[in-house]
């Protein structure tokens, strides 16, 4: 397996996930080491670095890093909407879909990863 381009992925993480701008390169490198084996460089091609960066942002967010002005993912994963004037909070009926992508659907980074993955990997449908 080819090793990921840690420098390029770190740069993407800090640009795409601006909430992680102040994270140390060492911390981001740790998350890259955890997430890079999850996907194939061969299958993702030119989008590999972006896909890994999105997985890193997703994993960091799920771990409670980054902007937490509304609380942690555990506390806000079920939120559908929040208002301020007149205070209005709506909850979703479930935290995510019923597919294997349920965890990815909890962050915008995970949703972006799914979008890229779907461009590169076509699932087999069985009836």
Quote the CA–CA distance of 77 and 83 in Å, as a whole number: 16
Q: What is the mean pLDDT of residues 92-97?
A: 51
Q: Where are the domains of the chain?
A: 6-72+102-120
Q: Does residue 67 carry a pLDDT above 80?
A: no
Q: What is the mean pLDDT of residues 58-66?
A: 91
Task: Identify the CA nearest to 23 among candidates 33, 11, 36.
Answer: 11
Number of H helices, E strands in the chain: 6, 2
pLDDT for residue 102: 86
Q: pLDDT exceeding 70 applies to what percent of the chain?
A: 76
Residue partners of 58: CB distance under 8 A and separation at least 6:
104, 107, 109, 110, 113
Place of tokens 């080819």: 2
In this structure, the number of other CB atoms found within 10 A of the CB of residue 64 comes to 11
pLDDT for residue 1: 58
Using one digit for the tens of pLDDT, what is the confidence trace for 8-45?
Answer: 999 999 999 999 999 999 999 999 999 999 999 999 99
pTM: 0.75
**47 band by pLDDT with thresholds 50, 70 and 90:** very high
Average pLDDT value for the chain: 83
With helix as H, strand as E and coil as C, how does 63-121 read?
CCCCCCCCCCHHHHCCEEEEECCCCEEEECCCCCCCCCCCCHHHCHHHHHHHHHHHHHC
Using one digit for the tens of pLDDT, what is the confidence trace for 99-123?
Answer: 678 889 989 999 999 999 999 987 7
Quote the CA–CA distance of 29 and 6 in Å, as a whole number: 6
């Amino acid at each position: 397996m080819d090793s990921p381009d840690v420098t390029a992925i770190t740069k993407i993480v800090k640009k795409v996930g601006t909430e992680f701008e102040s994270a140390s390169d060492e911390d981001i490198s740790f998350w890259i080491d955890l997430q890079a084996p999850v996907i194939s460089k061969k299958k993702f091609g030119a989008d590999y670095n972006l896909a890994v960066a999105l997985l890193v942002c997703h994993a960091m967010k799920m771990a409670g890093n980054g902007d937490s002005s509304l609380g942690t993912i555990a506390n806000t994963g079920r939120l559908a909407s929040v208002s301020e004037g007149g205070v209005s909070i709506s909850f979703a009926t479930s935290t995510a879909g019923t597919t294997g992508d349920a965890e990815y659907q909890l962050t915008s980074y995970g949703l972006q990863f799914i979008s890229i993955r779907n461009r590169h990997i076509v699932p087999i449908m069985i009836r």
